[in-house]
Amino acid sequence: MRVVLVTYGSRGDVEPMMGLALRLQALGAEVRVCAPPDFAELLNGVDVPLSPVGWPIRALATGAVPGKAKAGLSDIAAELTATAYEAVVAVSEGCAAVVATGSFPAAAGARTAAEKLGVPYAFTSLSPSYLPSPHHPPPPWPGQVIPARVTDNRGLWDLNAEHKNALFGETINNHRASVGLPPVDGIRDHVFTDHPFLATDPVLGPWQETPELAVAQTGAWIRPDERPLPADLEAFLAAGAEPVYVGFGSMPMRGANAQDLSRAVIEAVRTQGRRVLLGSGWADLVLIDDRDDCFVVGEVNQQALFRRVAAVVHHGGAGTTTTAARAGTPQVLVPQVADQPYWAGRVTELGIGTGHDGPTPTAESLAAALEIALAPATGARAAVVAETVRTDGAELAAKLLLDKIGRSASAVSAD
């Protein structure tokens, strides 16, 4: 039995699928992951085969793909939909289910492939804020104009559905027609379905029940990381007091070049009397001088690292937020796009850190945020919340998915 997992996005979209893949494998399923080609080495490292989808995500995000430098999601939707569909069909032998997250057009292609193959499909949200609910508004969509008269959440979600139809409806239905499937109305709800998975921790990212959706909230899909930290990083950690980690992951930071941003964050941490540990990431953070209180790392085991730092400053991705919360380490979130403001709000509400005011930190603004994060009360609260974070989300999701497959097979047999 093969399960196909589909995502087109950054590391934060791929890691949860890796967590689910490993749990499915442990329960006896064969797994294929369809994701950007950037992640071949990462997936090979855990013996999960990759079927590449689309362009390398970092090259696309930074304008390095020829002809796509100024392309928005709607401009490349047709290609993403088709390539995701083709990736699933290419590994469809023995396919029993398709699970999708990440880019909306890619998830639409995955849904179409599942329908064409006649197998169950499950959409997964990595944030409650993406799922329609009367309890919260939708994340703002770049370029969308909201009429001043529309202020209630249901009305905003109706506009969100209309906007999705306008952006992607014709493209997705043209692709469906090309593979012999009828058109659908309500593209957003077709892709999301009325019974999605929600791969977030119930304390960090709770879901409020609503009659419109039967959401299965499982907890975050965490991939256990047993890698040791590099020897030079271990030496830096051992050489003094706990540093503050600053890294913005797969996020080019708006409004600042690498040198200016690096200087701002290093100076901010130094004002707090702390050493600095920079995660280079897509923001390309670098050293600004030769002082020995600062160190730069690339991709490392954050599950191990975050337990050994005084605070984590990051972009507000769901995975990084969960990892820091699980470590019991206070956080400062500098949200840029999408669901990142949501996570900044949750961290602030829970008292385990704070959201930075605005997407571009200065030495002064980040220092002010760090004063909150490094306060003893914040650390104590972070330690309490850490004890509540679920670690079995991927296992629960795998069991629910296998049960869904079993029920579907039984229904087919009965027919």
Burial, 254: exposed, middle or buried (Cβ in 10 Å; 0-12, 13-18, 19+)?
Answer: exposed
> Does the residue 147 lie in any domain?
yes
Beta strands in 63-165 (DSSP E): 95-102, 121-125
C-alpha 356/C-alpha 369 separation (Å) is 6
Model-level pTM? 0.93
Number of domains forming the structure of the chain: 2
Domain that holds residue 172: 2-221+391-414
| End-to-end CA, the chain | 21
Pair 382, 401 in one domain: no
Pair 209, 238 in one domain: no
Pair 204, 254 in one domain: no
Give the count of alpha carbons within 13 A of 169, CB side only.
14
Q: What is the pLDDT of residue 318?
A: 96
Sorted by sequence, the CB contacts under 8 Å of residue 325 that are 6+ apart come out as 201, 204, 331, 347, 352, 382, 385, 386, 389
> Does the residue 374 lie in any domain?
yes
The CATH number of the domain where 130 resides is what?
Answer: 3.40.50.2000
Q: What is the pLDDT of residue 75?
A: 79
Q: What is the pLDDT of residue 352?
A: 98
pLDDT in tens, the chain (415 residues): 999 999 999 999 999 999 999 999 999 999 999 999 999 999 998 999 999 999 999 888 888 888 876 667 777 899 999 999 999 999 999 999 999 999 999 999 999 999 999 999 999 999 999 999 999 999 988 778 888 899 999 999 999 999 999 999 999 999 999 999 999 999 999 999 999 999 999 999 999 999 989 999 999 999 999 999 999 999 999 999 999 999 998 877 766 688 999 999 999 999 999 999 999 998 999 999 999 999 999 999 999 999 999 999 999 999 999 999 999 999 999 999 889 999 999 999 999 999 999 999 999 999 999 999 999 999 999 999 999 999 999 999 999 999 999 887 766 656 5
Pair 402, 355 in one domain: no
